[in-house]
Amino acid sequence: MDEQDIPIDIHGHKLLDWLVSRREVKRDWSTKTRIIREKINNAIQDMPEHPEITRLLSGTYINYFHCLKIVEILKETEKDTKNILGWYGSQRMKDWQEITRLYEKDSVYLAEAAHLLMRNVKYDIPDLKQQISKGTHIQEECDRKEAEYIKSAEEARKRYSQMCKQIGIPGEKIEEQQIEIDLDDDDQKADAGEIDFGDVGGTIDFSTADIELAENLTTGDIDWGNLSTEEPQTIDWGVDVNDVATVDIVVEDSGVSGGVAKGTDALTLLYNPKTRAQLIDELFELEGFLKQRLIELESDESSFSINQFSTAPISVQDQSKEQLEVMISYIRNVIDPLSTNKMQHLFLIYSSPKYVDRLAASLRSKLTVADKFVISQEGVRQRRLEAQQEQQKVHPKLATMIERSKELKVNIEEHISKRYKNRPVNLMALSLSMT
């Protein structure tokens, strides 16, 4: 194999060291590039309108190879300034030609190009990829949190509904009652309410019997029946008036003076804690009594003879098993409703206004928690949208960076190849892909 066909493989991250070690570039190349950068910044201020120049000046760092393309474009745009000797009179052309000469002196352009390629591969491209990866991670995290917030909000509303169900309220606000004002005339109402007496001009027929009754009332003669005036009639009351004892009624002044009940005396049986507790205790006691009696009936006759109900009245002993079970079910039908959470809340609400405030605050807190989760959902949605928008901005930058880096890699390989009798040059270990 000819030496010209032997490839030159260079590790991309060690490209600049390779050039310096082979004295293709000098170690002080960076000091010279500062002067060149200043001239480029000044020359950019006065550029002709051209789409290719716009593309070259946007997106990436301007290097020597861009300058060569700019000179080629200026040969077209500034051709009218060319004299008979082939020199351009345009200051634009003079500025960029000077920049290319400074680049080519001591191969500064090659050192800078190697430095730019290494920086792109080691820092800029990985940084853009990391931003994209971070945006993807943020979106996934937002999706997870949004699902959690939705679930938590539903659970909070469910707890609210369960609590309302226990209390026995719908848990929704009732619309205010609309006040209806009747604007009809009062005189019309009065006319509508008059009594119809019929024809006031007619005569009333009292009949003959009614007239005779009226005459008797006028004369004062009353028919008392067949009563004899000789023997006075007396009423037999069954007791001697003298034997009736005198009863003295004493009205004492108690806690219900004036006829108005106050305090616990004003409470009904179930709303009064004392009477309610007494009633429930007696119901439980009665239930226990009947259950014990039911057990006695289900036991053997030998044990029945010594049970505690053997001396009970016949009305108690004669109750059958089926009758006792019915009685127990009736009692349980009374006890169970009084023991529900709804009824307990009702008693507490009635007896304690502070409990009502605490209960209302507890209910509101459930809805407040649900509302906070809803707000959090909007927050993560907005965060996800921002991450998506940021990704959309970074993707074109990364694509441009990779494209320009590939172009730079090809240019470096070509220029190094020219220095080594056109041997193929391979810059290796350079990650120039979107992933």
pLDDT in tens, 316-346: 667 788 888 898 899 888 888 887 777 777 7
pLDDT computed for residue 320 by the predictor: 82
Cβ contacts of residue 256 below 8 Å, gap of 6+? 262, 265
**Please, are residues 125 and 398 in contact by the beta-carbon 8 Å criterion?**
yes
Domain holding 418, by residue range, is: 3-137+403-428
What CA–CA distance (Å, rounded) separates 54 from 47?
9
Nearest to 163 by CA among 361, 420, 434, 401: 361
- Give domain status of residue 11, yes or no: yes
pLDDT computed for residue 263 by the predictor: 65
What CA–CA distance (Å, rounded) separates 426 from 416?
10
Stretches in the chain below the pLDDT threshold 70: 1, 59-60, 84-85, 168, 172-173, 175-259, 261-266, 300-312, 315-317
Query: What are the backbone angles phi and psi of residue 14, rounded to the nearest 5°?
Result: -115, 20
CA distances from residue 395 to 34, 398, 434 in whole angstroms, order as listed:
31, 5, 9
Provide the number of structural domains found in the chain: 1
| Residue 181, token pair as written in the block | 């004002």
- Give domain status of residue 15, yes or no: yes
Angle at CA of residue 421, ends 432 and 406, nearest 5°: 10
CA dihedral over 218, 220, 221, 226, signed as positive or negative: positive
pLDDT computed for residue 391 by the predictor: 92
pLDDT computed for residue 258 by the predictor: 53
Question: What is the residue whose two structure tokens read 């993707």?
Answer: 395
What CA–CA distance (Å, rounded) separates 405 from 117?
6
- Give domain status of residue 305, yes or no: no
pLDDT computed for residue 178 by the predictor: 52
| Residue 332, token pair as written in the block | 């349980």
**Please, are residues 387 and 141 in contact by the beta-carbon 8 Å criterion?**
no
Cβ neighbours around 277 below 10 Å, total: 10
CA distances from residue 407 to 147, 166, 427 in whole angstroms, order as listed:
45, 74, 12
- Give domain status of residue 73, yes or no: yes
Cβ neighbours around 61 below 10 Å, total: 15
- Give domain status of residue 147, yes or no: no
What CA–CA distance (Å, rounded) separates 272 from 169?
23
pTM: 0.57
Cβ contacts of residue 104 below 8 Å, gap of 6+? 64
Nearest to 366 by CA among 156, 165, 162: 156
What CA–CA distance (Å, rounded) separates 148 from 412?
53
- Give domain status of residue 157, yes or no: no
What CA–CA distance (Å, rounded) separates 389 from 126?
19
Report the Cα–Cα distance between both ends of the chain, in Å, rounded.
37
- Give domain status of residue 76, yes or no: yes
Tell me if residue 129 falls in helix, strand or coil. helix
Query: What are the backbone angles phi and psi of residue 432, rounded to the nearest 5°?
Result: -125, 55
pLDDT computed for residue 201 by the predictor: 45
- Give domain status of residue 112, yes or no: yes
- Measured in whole angstroms, the distance separating CA 262 from the mean position of its chain's CA atoms is 47
| Residue 225, token pair as written in the block | 């029946």
What CA–CA distance (Å, rounded) separates 170 from 297?
47
Cβ contacts of residue 212 below 8 Å, gap of 6+? none
